[in-house]
Amino acid sequence: MSNSIVANLKLAKAPIYSHCFSQDRSLVAVTLNSDCLVFKLTPGGKPALVATLPDHDKTVTAVDISIHGRIVTCSQDRNAIVWEPLSDGTYKPTLVLLRINRAATCVQWAPSGYKFAVGSSARIIAVCYYEQENDWWVSKHIKKPIKSTINCVSWHDNGIMLACGGTDGYVRAFSGFVKGLDSRDQVANSPWAEKFPFGALIREWYHGAWIHDVQWRSSQEKLAYVAHDGSFNVVDPSDHVSTTFSPEGLPLMALVWINDHEALCGGFSCHPVLFGEGASGWQFSKNIDKDIAPSTPASASTGDDDDEGNAPFGMSALKKFKELDLKGKVSAQVQESTHENAIVELAPYSVTAGNVTEVSSCGLDGKIVIYRV
Amino acid sequence: MEDWRRIDIDAFDPDSGRLTAEDLKPPYASSVSLQELEPKISQLRSAATSGDFLNALQILTTDPPYSADETTKNQYFHAVLGVLTQVRQADITNLVKQLSPKQTDVLVKYLYKGMSVPEGQKQGGMLLSWFEKVTQLSGVGPVVRYLSDRNTV
């Protein structure tokens, strides 16, 4: 294990699609099949299961914890549930009627903690907030011009602009302004638009491949997104898009801003990749948690095409079978990274003065890993 | 009992706004016609006959006619296939080395296109050896980008 790993928690035997740490980092909520599990973390000790949130009856796709400690989960059963923490450590569920006819795919609390956005396969983003009079969470829909499943949503720090990305290949920024909850002062002098009525499309950028994650860098007024073609992209209010590709060429699933000029991405290569902005724009800067450098495609092109040990493509399976055949061993494969399957979500874990120093990740291998950047 | 899994629920919902192939087409500003492509095609042909394959490869991997309709794309592809099949196997690696990453991505798109049409399948061995050389040099990146790109050739 390389020295960039702070913690490596194997919490489940099934994929973890989403995770979220509480504000004080003492609790972590993870999705597991149709449940959401809450673990308590003690330094040096094993994570202890403190609560199971069981009310969904299909796969839970996303979880988020607000600044007040409320947990929101959304699921393929087309519902979202807000879990209010009680003093005895249990949670009181409140069902949120999203009024969608397909799976909910992603959820995020607004920075204020009083509303959240749910993306769905029904080509709808539901912005939900609590109505005191009715003691009820209501949802308002953003529909147009979304053409396909929403994969990711991200709130700007101003709590009004909402970015989303989906399988139609568009990244869009909408206004999630809720009357009575938000004020115009929050978006005063915004470089993106003048007016922010609810549901208004502020900007859209066509990318083409499925968008898997979007994240604002609010202080810089920039938006970054990663896509299935392995690209990492940054756009600014002048619509300038800067694109760079993951070094292995594999799809990227998650991203997190480290500081104003660096972002960490994770995906099918199972280890995080750092991109940095230099004088010549955004570029790949380094791999994290990747000990063994495999033969790069460049070094393999020495001309001797028949040497199968050098061929970077298609040969590992053959080799595996040969080994199985000759030695009766399943594989001599060495684990190259801490995650053994794709990374699907990254989140800041430790932040000092706007710079992220540690990042948490969850993966399809059922692990939560914390990396030092 | 009726097989309810086969019921098309969207047909009962007028608001479903069913996704069509048209919806997923990239937003092109204009469409390239066959007439506009003719000069490029003849350029390709002459470069191939004079044996200047690097030049031909540069032409065909630069600014491909993404916005054209299917028939135009097929016409154009004939010229492309002509170039790809005339190159000697031993020269492929050297030629591919001189392409930029972007050009390599386009080349891979044409290789896949070739393998999907009958004319190309007759030259399957040739296309596969191109493919082999490209992936040896560039890894799986161009393939992943081909699979996820809605700009087709």
DSSP labels, A101-131: SS-EEEEEE-TTSSEEEEEETTS-EEEEEEE
pLDDT at A107 over 90: yes
Q: How far apart are CA A109 and CA A71, in angstroms?
A: 9
Q: Flag the least confident range among A7-21, A180-194, A297-311, B36-50.
A: A297-311
Average pLDDT in the A243-264 region? 95
B7 or B110: which leads in pLDDT: B110
Closest listed residue to residue A370, CA positions, set A346, A342, A337, A341: A346
Q: Is position A299 within any domain?
A: no
pLDDT at A2: 61
pLDDT of residue A294: 46
- Say what the pLDDT of residue A298 is: 40
Write the CB contacts of A105 (distance below 8 Å, at least 6 apart in sequence).
A61, A62, A74, A119, A120, A121, A149, A150, A151
* Order of strands, sheet of A273-278, starting from the edge strand that comes earlier in the sequence: A252-259, A262-267, A273-278, A281-287
- Structurally, how many domains does chain A consist of? 1
B14 touches chain A (CB under 8 A): no
Does residue A98 register a pLDDT over 60? yes
- On whether any CB of chain A is under 8 Å from the CB of B129, the answer is no
Report yes or no on A298 lying in a domain.
no
Q: Are A156 and A162 in contact (CB under 8 A)?
A: yes
Q: In the structure, what pLDDT confidence band is assigned to residue B91 with cuts at 50, 70 and 90?
A: very high
Instruction: Give B130→chain A minimum CA distance, Å.
Output: 13
What are the E-state strand segments in A46-103? 48-53, 60-65, 71-75, 80-85, 91-96
Contact across the interface for B145 and A229, Cβ inside 8 Å: yes
Indicate whether A307 pLDDT > 90: no
pLDDT tens digits along A113-143: 999 999 999 999 999 999 989 889 999 999 9
CA distance A112 to A97: 21
User: What pLDDT sits at residue A42?
Assistant: 87
Nearest CB to A297: which of B24, B136, B143? B136
| Chain A CB within 8 Å of residue B151 CB | yes
Give the pLDDT of residue A317: 72
CATH number at A156 reads: 2.130.10.10
| Mean pLDDT calculated for residue range A212-223 | 95
Mean pLDDT of B87-97: 92
In chain A, residues with a C-beta closer than 8 Å to the C-beta of B132 are 305, 313
CA distance A31 to A150: 19
Q: Confidence band (pLDDT; 50, 70, 90) for B10?
A: confident
This model of the complex carries an ipTM of: 0.85
Q: What is the pLDDT of residue A336?
A: 78
Q: How confident is the model at residue A144 (pLDDT cuts 50, 70, 90)?
A: confident
With beta carbons under 8 A apart, name residues in chain A contacting B141.
Answer: 230, 245-246, 248-250
Whether A326 has a pLDDT exceeding 80, the answer reads no
Q: Is A138 on the interface with B (CB under 8 A)?
A: no
Measured between CB atoms, does A346 come within 8 Å of chain B?
no
pLDDT over 90 percentage in chain A: 78
pLDDT of residue A290: 81
Residue A332: predicted pLDDT = 54
Domains and CATH numbers, chain B: 32-148 (1.25.40.190)
Domain around A364: 5-291+315-372
Residue A296 lies in a domain: no
CA atoms within 13 A on the CB side of A325: 6
Please give the pLDDT value at position B14.
72
A63-97 pLDDT, tens digit each: 999 999 999 999 999 999 999 999 998 999 999 99
Span A2-9, average pLDDT: 85
